[in-house]
Structure 1
Amino acid sequence: MQPTRIEKNVADVCRAVLDGDTEELLIVGPSPTVIDGLVAVLSEPESASTVRLLATESVLKETVSGFTDASTVADLVADEVLSLRTSAERLGGPLLLTDERVVSLVVTDERTAGLATEDAEFVGAARNEYANRWTDAEPFTLRTPPLSRVRETLETEFGAELAADFEAMRVALAESAGDLDVVDVSLLAAARNEALLYDISTWGENVGVASRATFSRKKTRLEEAGLVETEKVPIDVGRPRLRLLLGDERLREADASEMVRVAAELLAVEA
């Protein structure tokens, strides 16, 4: 990497650092924007590096506040590509540290610069300093399941069509400003495919998306707003179970990728 490298975005600078001869990168004091760029690079199929990331708890919580971001990070953690720790101390940065260089990131609205030094004495001192901080820091625990697990279990439990509908809605959800979350789109995907509430809520609890109680509460909200309907399905033993159905004609006519927008508009009218 050149001593100073100016790129279009954070991801390009991170890629340039990771494309070097380093196998492990230590990142200290990143902002959510820096973490987003890093995650984008680590998610690329050709990425072979591992990263230790030390940040404040507030930054990590902001980064994983949305389901897609959190579940993508969870995949990297599960694959042992990314490790997360939090520090209560004030952190300088953002800094990217390899065995041979220290890179300071300067991020603007239009460009990102990586200002690097390869002075061996300085790099060694910086590595020791922040390696010690890493050792003293607390692990950051993610409560969101890995996205790959969500996809795989959905297809196994409900089939490819429901899984594809969920995926289309999940992508739309990440770009939506509406009052919907991953439980809502799970229920809408289930209703589009006429699955049972019991089955989708049990799946959600088992995989770690949300509790069955949360699914039930969200179902009630969607039902009261007219987005979903239910019909009773008798079973051999016990109370009948509820089959989920789409309750509004506009949702029934929408493609899966459009359903988040339509549902958000319908909920806004009801609010």
Structure 2
Amino acid sequence: MSQNLLGTSVDDVVRTVLDADPGELFVVNPAGGTVEELVDVANAYEGELPTIRLLGDERTLKDVTDDFIVASNAANLVEDGSLELRLLGDDTRSSMLVTEDRTVALLEVGGLVGGLTTDDAEFAETAYDAVTDDWAAAEEFMLRTPAIDRVSQTLGENISADVEEDFGDVLASMETARGDGDGLDEVTVSLLVAAKNRVLLYDISKWGEDVGIASKATFSRTKTKLEDLGLIDTEKVPIDVGRPRLRLKLADDRLEDAPPAELANVAQSVLP
């Protein structure tokens, strides 16, 4: 049984497998970094994607999808029918990619990830049958984050094209969007971009709740936190009926002068 090394990175391996034009691709027990790279490659892939069936450890999937950037891009694939997520009942399965005629073991050595594949038809058939059975018995993993394409589209339609562009630029400058000290979260980014463009708190929080980012209450709490830190401020805007609305604005000169691509870095340096 001969073996071949497909590549020395996850994206190399995944692209090679996708270029073989499989009807479906099982991704079994991937590490968190593998999930992230798979989502990146699949979103950028210019050919026709197979149905990607990811069977992963629950803790790994929850940790990876706590990052809005990864989760919202994965949601793009879920919404267009290219990606399905289920929970691996037994995480003793090796990390591998499986198609009907190919099995690729993902091996990590010295910081490099290689894809070791075999051309043995009997082995490939056995692996495919086993993972198909695992998939049929597995529970669905619910991804509750909205797709980034839908987030961007509705932001442009309901708020403004400038806010949509700034939101995308800020996210593109960030490695992660978790809000756990390693990066800002999606609500904070939304509010900072809204303040940069002097958007009403009501409008950005209603949009955020409608699209599925967070509740109005979460937007309100985060707004108060950013006010207390001196990052944003508000001014009252009278309306015909009811209480005045609050217009968001930046309160820190460093944010005011920062281009969108640098806004996250400046804000992160101010946050505790």
Pairing partner for 1:264 from 253, 256, 268: 268
Match of 2:123 in 1: 122
Deviation at 1:180, TM superposition (A): 2.3
Q: What is the RMSD of the two structures over their aligned residues, measured on CA atoms?
A: 1.7
Match of 2:158 in 1: 157
- 1:35-184 matched pairs, under 5 angstroms: 35-48=35-48, 49-174=50-175, 178=182, 180-184=184-188
Please, which runs of 5 or more residues in structure 1 have no aligned partner? none
Q: Which amino acid aligns with 1:264?
A: Q
Deviation at 1:130, TM superposition (A): 1.2
CA distance in 1, matches of 2:149, 2:3: 37
CA distance in 2, matches of 1:250, 1:262: 7
CA distance in 2, matches of 1:254, 1:36: 29
CA distance in 1, matches of 2:104, 2:265: 41
**Local SS of the residue matching 1:173:** coil
Structure 1 moving runs of 4+ over 6 Å:
none
Deviation at 1:20, TM superposition (A): 1.0
Pairing partner for 1:240 from 244, 253, 256: 244
CA distance in 2, matches of 1:159, 1:151: 10
CA distance in 2, matches of 1:82, 1:139: 12
CA distance in 2, matches of 1:107, 1:179: 27
Match of 1:210 in 2: 214
Maintained 8 Å contact 1:66/1:174: no
Maintained 8 Å contact 1:55/1:91: no
CA distance in 2, matches of 1:228, 1:179: 18
CA distance in 1, matches of 2:269, 2:27: 41
Deviation at 1:112, TM superposition (A): 2.5
TM-score, normalised to structure 1's length?
0.93
Between 1:172-181 and 1:120-129, the stretch displaced more is 172-181
Match of 2:230 in 1: 226
Identical aligned residues as a percent: 45
Q: Deviations over 1:115-150 (max 9, x none)?
A: 222322222222111111101100110111000001
CA distance in 2, matches of 1:41, 1:260: 25
Match of 1:20 in 2: 20
CA distance in 2, matches of 1:57, 1:188: 32
TM-score, normalised to structure 2's length?
0.93
CA distance in 2, matches of 1:63, 1:267: 23
Q: Deviations over 1:200-249 (max 9, x none)?
A: 00000000000000000000001111111111111111111100011111
